[in-house]
Amino acid sequence: MALLRRPLLLLLLIVTHQFLQFRIAFGSVNEEGQKQEEFYEELLLKPLPDRKLLTHFHFQSSAPPSTSNGRHHHLFPKAISQLVLKFQVKEMELSFTQGRWNYESWGGFDPIPSSNAKPPGVELWAVFDAPQHLIDALWKNLTHTLSGLFCASINFLESSTAYSAPEWSFPPASGKLRYGTLPREAVCTENLTPWLKLLPCRDKAGISMLLDRPSIYRGFYHSQRLHLTSTGSGSEGMDPGIILEQTLTVVLQPDSQRASLAHASEKHIQPSWSLSSIFGKQISGRCVLAETSSVYFLLDKGLVAELEHIHKENEKSEENVLISEKFWNNPSFELSAKPDRIFIEESSLLSKNASVLYKFEIEKYGESEPFDLGLFWKTPVVWLCQQAPLHANRFLMGSGNERGAIAISLKSTQSSEGFMGSNSNDERCELRVDVFQVVPWYVKVYFHSLQVFVDQQPKAVSDIIEKIHVSPSKDKVSPGVMELVLTLPCSVSSAVLTIEFDKGFLHIDEYPPDANQGFDIPSAIEKSPVMSYTEVLLVPLTTPDFSMPYNVITITCTVFALYFGSLLNALRRRVAEEERFLKDKAAKKMDRIPLLLSKLSAKLRGRHLEGPQAPPASSSFINSKSVLKVILIAGLAVYWQYYFS
Amino acid sequence: MSSYAGSMYHGSPLLLSLLGPLTVKRIEGQPNHLLYSLVSVIADVVSAMLIRATGQNLRLAYLRSLESLDLVKQIDVSEFLCSGDIAALIYLCNPFTIVACVGLSTSPIENMAVILCLYGACSRLIPLAAFGWVIATHLSLYPAILIIPVIFLLGCGPDSPPRKLFLQRHQQKEVLNQSKLPPGFSWRPIIHFAFWAFLWSVYVLVLCGISLKQFGGLWEMFKSTYGFILTVEDLSPNIGVLWYFFAEVFEFFRNFFLIVFHVNILFMILPLAIRLRHRPCYLAFVYVAICSMLKSYPSVGDSALYLGLLGWFVNELADMQFSLFLFCGYVGVSLLSPVMHNLWIWRGTGNANFYFTTAMVYACLQIVLVVEGVSAMLNHDRKLRILITGKPQDAKS
């Protein structure tokens, strides 16, 4: 039994310890004898306070800098390597998420939620290692490539209205970072399958065998993430090394039927589970291509403290059961397999409150003896997950479809005094909060209307906001971006930011098919210093009548044609002339035949002869002009006649 | 940051630098829009005073021409209303003016520039006319076509019956009294006007250029002011019909219809100018009314302007048809339109067509007003001619 004391962050521990282990070289050796491509697979299981179970799959492939990257790979997915080379990606993260991470009950301060809790839908950010003027083009091509690679509509992030360039909310990239989200993207198995194809064993062997689609998508939250970093090549002509991390976080509700049968009286007991009961499968051996393949079972701080408390009450012994010899069968719970190692988080303040991590090596198990970890709770336990110092919520204010306001509320969870203490000065304790908010252009935000309320008291914006960066939205061109750095006193219990907006009106083609459902405002990001995402907001926009284009066009055009015609008519009408014309017409009605005769005779006598019969008084009716016209037509007729005969 | 950085502001940079601070600055204990409301109230009062002065000017000119036509006995001059006072009262008491003022719109200032231009041209203050014209064009583009009435005003003086009538009258009397004839067209004031207009526009452009030097210069300004007006990018509902038209029209035809609607304004300029050249102020009124009907983003402030100007011609347009119908229509639309807007936008119980219908009715009313107004004015001229010649006669003017 090895007891290791490791630094604070568990994830760091998970990642670093692997490098200490003995490496078995699967995959062929590079001809220059350099580092080889490596693959690790891990699974973390963690019971959550609200009778749920967090399962976190972690796969890591890495390709060292080499000259053959993008052409030949042993383990590393070629598609990713080519993508990195072609689009000069320095760092990229793509996540597909369904459901919302429940920060209140699932915790917000552990390394797993802070890096894996993602906003619903698709989120993509990428840092490029290219000149500034090329970045937008690279981003567009990258979105199309990823869209094809993952069978998702990531290509909608191509449009300049969909992505933004945050300045300081993400890893500093001096304007080379692009960020975009698609909150309404439905995530399902067609996105998971291409994601699994990037693994060397796919879902045929090793931990990924557990990925049974129906059980995953039955969960409350699932988020598949792909994070890649390219490390600069050491020498010229070498392609950069790439580290690809793929994680899948699923929150499941174990089927508690068995538990309820066994302990009908105990309603508050946590549901017991095993891998086979939640996934319907067991791990029958590891992926042979993986360097290491391990399963971890994590009991977090609060749970450990609670368990020890229960144990002390019962047994009155000083010994810590959780790390004693018979820990897997202690009075509170029973593990079905014996762990190979136990890690205890090192905590400088209170050694009691340390989370415990059990490690199970998969190498030992095989087809004949599949690995199936089970947990059987014996006594009811109630605990709380560790919270981030602030809990962020976001909501809309106002009614109607003309204007509204977005409010971001930050509530102190009062649960991390230790963290606050570490950040405080002697006199003033301050909490630094970064807020990053993207709004689509049709939500026209008035940045001057930003108001800050601390503990329900309005505060001057300049007192609270240390730094602000705003890029206003441009209609149909770019979204509005707001980045804030707030400094709040540690004693704050709540802070609310409100900002007003007007709702825009779109062209009929710009509405999605179900326009009355509303439009999504992507999650805001709050970092204090753990990153957390707020809810996606649904903004209903006014819709025009989609069935009306023809009616509107014809009615409007008719009205304007009426205007044009009637105004021209009014301008050219001559009342007096009309009156006389009518009078003349009445007078001439009788002698129409003589008139015709006179015309005929005029025509017959030639052009020079004007109708002498025509009375001079009626010059307005038969004047020289009309006679000329008649003559001209007659001449034409005669010419026509001659020409054809 | 450039004032055109977001798609929020589409006005003149000068207006922003003059009025922008007023909307932010606040007097202790008062709401912060008070200062700007004061400015728009002052602008409206100044406009009303200028309208009154111009109206009196026009009335005098009208009486003088009647006198020179010896029609004073036939037309009862004592029944003549004081059109300047009426116009000013209409402008000030018009609910549209009040609404535009309450809504903190910039139209009081735009209207003031237009009225300044007409006043200057009527009272032959050429620099003032040029200033008004340049500022009005700079603020909202459409008043550019007022250059035609201004040229007629400066060239032949304010409204009078057609020149031909005077000639006929004098032929009848067989005494050609040159002093009683209205003056012919003179080019001198027009060249003056052109010079001043050039001077003022250079001045305005230089000021704009200075204020936008860091942010892309004048091109940026033209793109987001005139470009915004001409391409109808904003589809927010207003009292016109174009927002809905361009929200619904197929993208393929968009450019075509943009051209059609703008050419519709330009198309009527020439026929109206030919037919109403002896009445430049009335021509200006018709142009303003047509613009407010066909412009990209009409507002009630535009209607307030032309309804105010209509007051100048109460005597001439006394015989206008459908005036009661028009009045009722305007009242009805101005009551129904907010109701429909509320139903559609705020309550969500109505739909866009409800509001569009009121906008359509409003457009029709304006069309009837323009067409009937023009024919009433032509009929008035005809009436004068009949009074002079004593019989209906072929009129070619």
Q: Is residue B2 part of a domain?
A: no
pLDDT of residue A319: 52
pLDDT of residue A317: 52
Tell me which of B8, B165, B224, B274 to substitute to probe the interface with A (most A C-beta atoms closer than 10 Å): B8
Compare CB distances from B6 to A473, A548, A570 and report the shortest one's residue.
Answer: A473
Does A433 share its domain with A292? no
Compare CB distances from A402 to B249, B272, B345 and report the shortest one's residue.
Answer: B345
Judged by CB atoms closer than 8 Å, whether chains meet at A577 and B348 is answered as no
Number of domains composing chain B: 1
Q: What is the pLDDT of residues A443-492, one digit of tens each?
A: 999 988 899 999 888 888 888 888 888 989 988 899 999 999 988 888 88
Q: What range defines the domain where residue A331 resides?
A: 38-257+268-311+324-377
**Residue with the two structure tokens 């016109």:** B240
Tell me which of B231, B248, B269 to substitute to probe the interface with A (most A C-beta atoms closer than 10 Å): B248
A46: phi then psi, degrees, rounded to nearest 5: -150, 125
DSSP B308-362: HHHGGGTTGGGG-TTHHHHHHHHHHHHHHHHHHHIIIIII-SS-HHHHHHHHHHH
Q: Determine the Cα–Cα distance for residues A597 and A636; give it in Å rounded to an integer.
A: 20
Judged by CB atoms closer than 8 Å, whether chains meet at B360 and A559 is answered as yes
Q: Determine the Cα–Cα distance for residues B133 and B121; give it in Å rounded to an integer.
A: 10
Q: Is residue B395 part of a domain?
A: no
Does A495 share its domain with A370? no
Would an 8 Å CB–CB cutoff place A564 in contact with chain B?
yes
Compare CB distances from B244 to A446, A472, A544 and report the shortest one's residue.
Answer: A544
Q: Determine the Cα–Cα distance for residues A477 and A72; give it in Å rounded to an integer.
A: 41
Mean pLDDT estimate for chain A:
80
The total of other beta-carbon atoms located within 10 Å of residue A349's CB is 11
Compare CB distances from B264 to A472, A543, A560 and report the shortest one's residue.
Answer: A560
Mean pLDDT estimate for chain B:
88
Residues on chain B touching A444 (C-beta within 8 angstroms): 6-8
Does A146 share its domain with A274? yes
**Least confident stretch, A77-86, A130-139, A267-276, B191-200:** A267-276
| Residue A471 belongs to domain with CATH number | 2.60.40.740
**Least confident stretch, A226-240, A263-277, B271-285, B356-370:** A263-277
Residues on chain A touching B351 (C-beta within 8 angstroms): 543, 545
Quick one: tokens of A166? 């945050």
pLDDT band at A554 (very low <50, low <70, confident <90, very high): very high
Report DSSP state, residue A65. S
Does A345 share its domain with A456? no
Q: Is residue A170 part of a domain?
A: yes
Q: Is residue A398 part of a domain?
A: yes
Q: Say whether the peptide bond before residue A529 is cis (omega within 30 degrees of 0).
A: yes
Number of domains composing chain A: 2
Average pLDDT over residues A543-552: 90
Of A490, A310, A526, residue with least CA distance to A415: A490
Of B86, B83, B91, B87, residue with least CA distance to B111: B91
Q: A567 to chain B, minimum CA–CA distance in Å?
A: 5
Would an 8 Å CB–CB cutoff place A474 in contact with chain B?
yes
pLDDT band at A592 (very low <50, low <70, confident <90, very high): low
Residue A547 pLDDT > 80: yes
> Which range has highest mean pLDDT (A212-216, A532-536, B331-335)?
B331-335
Q: Is residue B365 part of a domain?
A: yes
pLDDT of residue A438: 92
Judged by CB atoms closer than 8 Å, whether chains meet at A559 and B241 is answered as yes
ipTM of the complex in this document:
0.91
Q: Judge contact between A252 and A43, C-beta under 8 A.
A: no
Compare CB distances from A559 to B363, B375, B394 and report the shortest one's residue.
Answer: B363
Does A372 share its domain with A395? no
Judged by CB atoms closer than 8 Å, whether chains meet at B394 and A400 is answered as no
Judged by CB atoms closer than 8 Å, whether chains meet at B392 and A570 is answered as no
Judged by CB atoms closer than 8 Å, whether chains meet at B234 and A399 is answered as no
pLDDT band at B67 (very low <50, low <70, confident <90, very high): confident
Residues on chain B touching A554 (C-beta within 8 angstroms): none
Quick one: tokens of A13? 């521990």
Residue A561 pLDDT > 50: yes
Does A80 share its domain with A185? yes
End-to-end CA distance of chain B: 56
pLDDT of residue B162: 82
pLDDT of residue B30: 74
Does A437 share its domain with A372? no
Of A125, A120, A112, residue with least CA distance to A57: A112
Would an 8 Å CB–CB cutoff place A576 in contact with chain B?
yes
Q: A448 to chain B, minimum CA–CA distance in Å?
A: 10
Residue B48 pLDDT > 90: yes
Q: What range defines the domain where residue B332 resides?
A: 13-389
Does A331 share its domain with A395? no
Does A520 share its domain with A404? yes
Does A68 share its domain with A210? yes
Report DSSP state, residue A517. G
pLDDT band at A588 (very low <50, low <70, confident <90, very high): low
Q: What is the pLDDT of residues B324-341, one digit of tens each?
A: 999 999 999 999 999 999
Q: Is residue A11 part of a domain?
A: no
Q: Judge contact between A127 and A172, C-beta under 8 A.
A: no
Q: Is residue B130 part of a domain?
A: yes
Judged by CB atoms closer than 8 Å, whether chains meet at B371 and A563 is answered as yes
Q: A99 to chain B, minimum CA–CA distance in Å?
A: 30
Q: Judge contact between B190 and B155, C-beta under 8 A.
A: yes
Quick one: tokens of B284? 């200006």
Compare CB distances from B244 to A402, A543, A552 and report the shortest one's residue.
Answer: A552
DSSP B91-137: HHH-HHHHHHHHTT-SHHHHHHHHHHHHHHHHTT-HHHHHHHHHHHH
Contacts of A23 by beta carbon, 8 Å cutoff, 6+ apart: A38, A291
Of B88, B361, B231, residue with least CA distance to A476: B231
Residues on chain A touching B348 (C-beta within 8 angstroms): 400-401
Compare CB distances from A574 to B348, B363, B395 and report the shortest one's residue.
Answer: B395
Does A214 share its domain with A295? yes
Q: Determine the Cα–Cα distance for residues A102 and A220; give it in Å rounded to an integer.
A: 10
Would an 8 Å CB–CB cutoff place A556 in contact with chain B?
yes
Strand order in the sheet with A121-128: A3-6, A341-345, A356-361, A292-299, A38-48, A52-63, A241-252, A221-231, A89-98, A121-128, A177-182, A163-164
Strand order in the sheet with A273-274: A273-274, A374-377, A333-335
pLDDT of residue B125: 92
Compare CB distances from A505 to B247, B267, B394 and report the shortest one's residue.
Answer: B247
Q: Is residue B6 part of a domain?
A: no
Judged by CB atoms closer than 8 Å, whether chains meet at A559 and B348 is answered as no
pLDDT of residue A326: 59
Average pLDDT over residues A516-531: 87
CB proximity under 8 Å: A 355-414 to B: 399-402
Judged by CB atoms closer than 8 Å, whether chains meet at A505 and B235 is answered as yes
Q: Where do the DSSP E strands lie in A210-354?
A: 221-231, 241-252, 273-274, 292-299, 333-335, 341-345
**pTM of the full structure:** 0.84
Does A196 share its domain with A339? yes
**Residue with the two structure tokens 């939500």:** A443
Judged by CB atoms closer than 8 Å, whether chains meet at A576 and B393 is answered as yes
pLDDT of residue B2: 81
pLDDT band at B156 (very low <50, low <70, confident <90, very high): confident
**Least confident stretch, A315-319, A359-363, A398-402, A557-561:** A315-319
Q: Which of A493, A525, A546 is the last residue of a domain?
A: A546
Judged by CB atoms closer than 8 Å, whether chains meet at A567 and B374 is answered as yes
DSSP A385-408: PPPPSEEEEEEEE--SSSEEEEEE
